[in-house]
Chains A and B, each alone.
Chain A
């Protein structure tokens, strides 16, 4: 995403990148960034908490006018929970009993929870797949752009 931010900025439009992965954003180095210390999948807030999410957005957008050094990042002060314990489990090896047969699995305690990388559209629901088929066969869809298959 930071590549895109940098390209838009180069094209003459100011950008601001939201982030909840400080080190990844820092490495990719966009012009302006705000850091929200929430688990991945919550870049803009929490479910069904519109007031909190508005507050986060207000603070985020303010960075357009407060950041003045290229490549700088502002840390927002929100926290996910009282003790930040969610951080202990992020991409960490799974704890297993000592007598588990770990040596044979060869995964050093990590579980492969990633989804296979199919190259066909992955619909959330079957109804969506039918809706997409219909809108395309009716040539109603003018908003799927740049589809690369």
Chain B
């Protein structure tokens, strides 16, 4: 069962569906963490300048699926500073580069370095931020038809929106088109 919630925030209409069948009704459940006020308060407490959160003002474009998901070739893009050994690692200062990671990569060759999140579990099992094994299982289960040839990884935490739009997005979108993907899954950290 799902509860539909409609919210108007800063003039935007959001429709959210919340699963109510399982754990959300249990006692001791706290609401989702509001990261924006907490991180804003931390930065202010440390005397840093204000971080400008992305606030999109227009409704996103919408492209409907043209065939069942089970017939789709899926690609995925992950932030979190993931690279394969042998590749150049990401740096920590507005890194707008990306890496193509072949989907037949050995899991043991994958690494994660980042300035902003706790890497302990990602280094224990990269699947927590780079779900390559779960997605391969989805192919086996015929939930999706196949994966594209590569996954793409980014650093994230880029302060300059302009650099994301000008330097990062055009080549990445071209990659997605060249790979003839039907759907794209984004996995931010």
Contact = CB atoms under 8 A, between A and B. Distances in A.
Interface of A: 1-19, 21-31, 35, 37, 39-48, 50, 53-54, 56-58, 60-62, 64-67, 69-79, 82-84, 87, 90-93, 106-110, 112, 114-125, 127-129, 131-132, 134-136, 140-141, 143-149
A53 B93 CA distance: 31
Interface of B: 2, 9, 12-24, 26, 28-30, 32-36, 38-39, 41-42, 45-47, 53-56, 59-65, 68-69, 72, 74, 77, 79-81, 83-93, 95-102, 111-113, 115-125, 127-131, 133-135, 137-138, 141, 143-144, 150, 154, 156, 161, 164-165, 167-169, 171-173, 176-177, 181-189
A74 B15 CA distance: 9
Contact of B17 (A2, A17, A75): A75
A42 B184 contact: no
Contacts of A118: 91-93
Contact of B128 (A41, A135, A143): A41
A29 B56 contact: yes
Nearest to B17: A74
A84 to B, nearest CB: 4
B108 to A, nearest CB: 12
A133 to B, nearest CB: 9
Given A14-B65, A47-B125, A27 B36 contact: yes
Nearest to A143: B100
A92 B188 CA distance: 22
Contacts of B83: 128
A57 B133 CA distance: 10
A71 B18 CA distance: 15
A65 B99 contact: no
Given A4-B77, A13-B183, A84 B30 contact: yes
